[in-house]
Amino acid sequence: MPSCFEMVRGLRATTGARFPIGVGTVWDPGAVMEAKDAGAAFVVTPVLLPEVAIACREHDMLCVLGALTPTEIYQARLAGAKLVKVFPIGPVGGPEYVRALNGPMGGVPIWVSGGVEVKDIRDYLLLGVKAVGLTSALFSAEALARRDMDGIRQRAEEAAKAARLD
């Protein structure tokens, strides 16, 4: 199994580096330099790790820090996160939790992840969420076990359709 850094290099090579590619789940500042050397545009943490934000600033990388509570979200912004990954969003109410956060925390750029359903993408985007992370919604354990690329592709198309706000 290739490392995430090898995957970033491969994706950049096969796409002509047309898309920003990030690395997650970053737990330590040392991974920031490895991500940059591989060609990643950003790193994502699962929790609030200010030391990763410092490394991102030092290496001129976009930093997405994980947080869940309003206090953690605020601390992530103070630490330098350009986006705050609210994780896991599904178990704490999904779009309703974002709606509640928007009152006191309106204007904080949020990326939702963890338990996101394709059917909720539009709601998240209409609530002002900047990014929606889809993992199990696209890559179910069954689809991966069966190597069901057609099923994964179909779910990705459904997600892309749900993200269109026109």
The two tokens of residue 12 are 């950049």
What is the total count of domains within the chain? Answer: 2
Does any domain span residue 18?
A: yes
Whether residue 105 sits in one domain with residue 77: no
Whether residue 44 sits in one domain with residue 64: yes
Domain coverage including residue 13: 1-87
CATH number at residue 71: 3.20.20.70
Write down which residue in 62, 87, 112 finishes a domain.
Answer: 87
Average pLDDT, the chain: 94
pTM given for the model: 0.89
Whether residue 148 sits in one domain with residue 78: no
- 75-91 tens-digit pLDDT: 999 999 999 999 999 99
- 19-54 tens-digit pLDDT: 899 999 999 999 999 999 999 999 999 999 999 999
Strands (E) located in the chain:
22-24, 42-44, 62-67, 83-86, 110-112, 131-132
